[in-house]
Amino acid sequence: MKKKGVIERYVIIFIIAIAGFLVVLLFLYRIGVNNQTPEDVCKASVLLRASTARVGASSDLVPLECETQKICITAGKECAQFAGEKYSKVKVDLDKKEESKEKIEKTIADAMYRCWNMMGKGELSIFPRGTFEAGKPTCVICYRIAVADDVANNKDLMSSVNVNSYLETRVVEGTDQTYLEALTNGQVRSYARGFRDKLSDDKNVKSTKEIGIAFMQILAESEKDDPLKAFTNVAGTGAGLASTGLVFVLGPLKGIAAGIITGVAFGGASAFQAFQTRAAAAAACKEFVKEDKAKLGCSAVIPFNYNDVENFAKTCALIESQP
């Protein structure tokens, strides 16, 4: 009789536990699917992965729920680059050049900042260590930004866009930091002179109508490794990104966006080598977990020419975001 009572008690507890589990699942599902933006969902999965990695679980167990968001900068036309895909629009008025220029710069700068923020500001270890073999970082392509033909054909407007300058001088909404400071966790206030000169002298600029904003992370392979050295291992290809991805963008702009982050973080590997701006390169390179020195590494947000597949694939062997 007593034994039967015990079993019944445990059966009831077990049923309640299962029911609770299902309620929590349903709750998470509803929050995740109905009420949150794709950015919120991505950020939550990044935090969950970083947390589970801290307690020793394989980070591969927690998938990243990050879908590449598409933004079309247009004066009215559709972005052919996104044919068959869902995308949001940023409208510009071609008659108002100054306002349009600023809108394009802000769109790119905001995307870079949101990507950095979404992926934990370089303070979280997100990708499994195994994927950093051969010095190739895993990437998340947070955004694809394209210009519709009506905007791309306005050479006057496109050649005036200077995202690098925007990042250096404009303050992120709701903070007292410039984009450059925010993207380097407050460590860089202005570009090193050499880097700035290189940007404006770069002859390898390829124009494109579409860029991607990618988050990359690389960890030092062992405790003895210098994370900056690990970052430098990718410098060869990083330099590739720097020359094409860098200024990539929307027309033959001198020093558009990318540079910066390239300079500061990823491609920064090449930048700091060339210009000895080690501090700048190190900006986004910090200890992920202070008590565990083996987990040293670097993170970066870089804009790149979305159509320069060869260069991107050399640098980034695995994309963890969904297309």
Partner 1 sequence: MTRAKQNKKASTITLDNVLSLIIFIVGIILIVAGIFKVYNLVGEARESRSAETLLDKILTKAKSVEVGEETEVTLQGFKHDTELLLVAFNKDQAKAPEKCFFNNCLCICGGLSLTSPEEIEKLCQEGVCKQSDTKISINSKKVIQIPLPYAGTPLGGYQSNELKIELNAIDIPQTLFKLKIKKPKENEVVIYR
Residues engaged in binding partner 1 (CB under 8 A)? 2-3, 6-7, 10-11, 14, 17-18, 21, 25, 61, 63, 65, 68, 80, 83-85, 139, 141, 210, 306-307, 309, 312-313, 316-323
Report the residue number, 4 or 224, with the smaller CB distance to partner 1. 4
Instruction: Determine the Cα–Cα distance for residues 116 and 122; give it in Å rounded to an integer.
Output: 7
Report the residue number, 43 or 198, with the smaller CB distance to partner 1. 43
Contacts of 137 (CB under 8 A, 6+ apart): 127, 131, 216, 217, 218, 234, 266, 315, 316
Minimum CB distance to partner 1, residue 28 (Å): 10
Report the residue number, 18 or 31, with the smaller CB distance to partner 1. 18
Minimum CB distance to partner 1, residue 205 (Å): 19
Minimum CB distance to partner 1, residue 249 (Å): 15
- Contact call for residues 234 and 262 (beta carbons, < 8 A): no
Report the residue number, 18 or 279, with the smaller CB distance to partner 1. 18
Minimum CB distance to partner 1, residue 236 (Å): 17
Give the count of beta carbons closer than 10 Å to the beta carbon of residue 310.
Answer: 9
Report the residue number, 2 or 224, with the smaller CB distance to partner 1. 2
Report the residue number, 3 or 224, with the smaller CB distance to partner 1. 3
Minimum CB distance to partner 1, residue 29 (Å): 10
Minimum CB distance to partner 1, residue 184 (Å): 26
